[in-house]
Structure 1
Amino acid sequence: MSGHRPEAELKSVVARKGSFLQTMKAVAWSFFGVRKSSEYEKDVSQLNPVHVIIAGILGAAVFVVVLILLVRWVIGSGVAG
Structure 2
Amino acid sequence: MDEMKDAVKRKMSFAQTLRAVFWSFIGLRKGSEHERDMAQLNPVHVIIAGLIGVAILIAVLITVVRVVVG
Normalised TM-score (structure 2): 0.95
Partner of 2:61: 67
Q: Taking CA–CA contacts closer than 8 Å with sequence separation of 6 or more, which of the two structures ends up with the larger relative contact order?
A: 2
State which of 14, 34, 39 in structure 2 corresponds to 1:20: 14
| Structure with greater proportional helix content | 2
Partner of 2:2: 8
Larger Rg: 1
Normalised TM-score (structure 1): 0.83
Structure 1 segments unaligned to the other structure (5+ residues): 1-6, 77-81
Runs of 4+ in 1 over 2 A off after TM superposition: none
Q: How many residues align?
A: 70
CA deviation string 1:28-78 (max 9, x = no partner):
1111111111100111011100000000011001000000011101112xx
Partner of 2:28: 34
Instruction: Give the superposed CA RMSD.
Output: 0.7
Give 1:33's aligned amino acid: G
Identical counterparts, % of pairs: 59
Determine whether 1:48 maps to 2:42. Answer: yes
